Amino acid sequence: MTAIIAGNNQAREDWLDEEDLAALKTWLGRRYNRPAVPEEYGELLGRIATAVADCDPAVLERIRSVFARVEPGDPPRYNVYALVDADGDPAPIESELADALLEVPQHLGVLDGMDALRADSLTLDMIESSYEVDASDLTWGAGAVLGA
C-alpha cells in the first residue's frame, strides 16, 4: 500500500469507495472496542455464532453485525439483534436467523427474541447492552471486510 501511495498521491484517496471505507472503519472499530464476554456466557455465545454461521450465505451477505443481549438466569435468557444492510429486507433475515437459533441448546440459554433491524432502528442501548456475536471471525481480505 505504501508503494502505491508513494507512486501516486491520488491513490491515497481513491483506493476505497465510500462503502468500502465505511466497512474498513467498522472493521477497525471492532478490533479495538470489544467487551469481554463473561465466562459463563462463552459457550452460549459460541453456539449462537455457530448457528448464525450455518445460515444461508445469501442471508449472511445482507447482515452487517449480530448482537446478543444476555440476561442472567438459570438458564440465561437472550435476545439477538441482526444489523442488516440499508437495502436488505429484515423479514427473511429474521426468519432465517430465528430458525437457525433453534439449534442453540436451551440449557445454555432461552431465546426471548430475534430482530433484524436496519441502522435507523437499532438503538445505541441495544448495542451497548449486548455482545457482538463472534466478532473474531471478521477479517479484512480480498479488498473487503469479510463478515461485516
Report the pLDDT averaged over residues 45-63. Answer: 90
The mean pLDDT of the chain is 79
57 within domain boundaries: yes
Which is more confident, 90 or 14? 90
6 within domain boundaries: no
Residue numbers of the domain that contains 75: 35-136
What's this model's pTM, rounded to 2 decimal places?
0.68
Which CA distances in Å does 26 have to 85, 131, 139, 140, 142? 13, 15, 11, 11, 16
Q: What is the CATH number of the domain that holds 68?
A: 3.30.70.1350
12 within domain boundaries: no
28 within domain boundaries: no
In the prediction, which pLDDT does 87 show? Answer: 82
Q: Where are the beta strands (DSSP E) in 13-124?
A: 63-71, 77-84, 110-117
d(CA 11, CA 46): 40
Report the pLDDT averaged over residues 13-33. Answer: 69
CB 69 within 8 A of CB 126: yes
Model confidence band, residue 14 (pLDDT cutoffs 50, 70, 90) = low
Most trustworthy range by pLDDT among 43-57, 96-110, 133-147: 96-110
d(CA 117, CA 58): 17
Instruction: Say yes or no to pLDDT of 37 above 70.
Output: yes
In the prediction, which pLDDT does 135 show? Answer: 44
70 within domain boundaries: yes
Task: Please report where in the chains the cell 471478521 appears, as a residue.
Answer: 138
3 within domain boundaries: no
Instruction: Say yes or no to pLDDT of 136 above 80.
Output: no
d(CA 37, CA 49): 13
73 within domain boundaries: yes
Instruction: Say yes or no to pLDDT of 29 above 60.
Output: yes
96 within domain boundaries: yes
Most trustworthy range by pLDDT among 18-27, 102-111, 112-121: 102-111
Which CA distances in Å does 84 have to 2, 4, 109, 118? 34, 34, 24, 5
Task: Please report where in the chains the cell 449486548 appears, as a residue.
Answer: 130
d(CA 9, CA 106): 56
In the prediction, which pLDDT does 18 show? Answer: 78
Q: Give me the number of domains the chain comprises.
A: 1
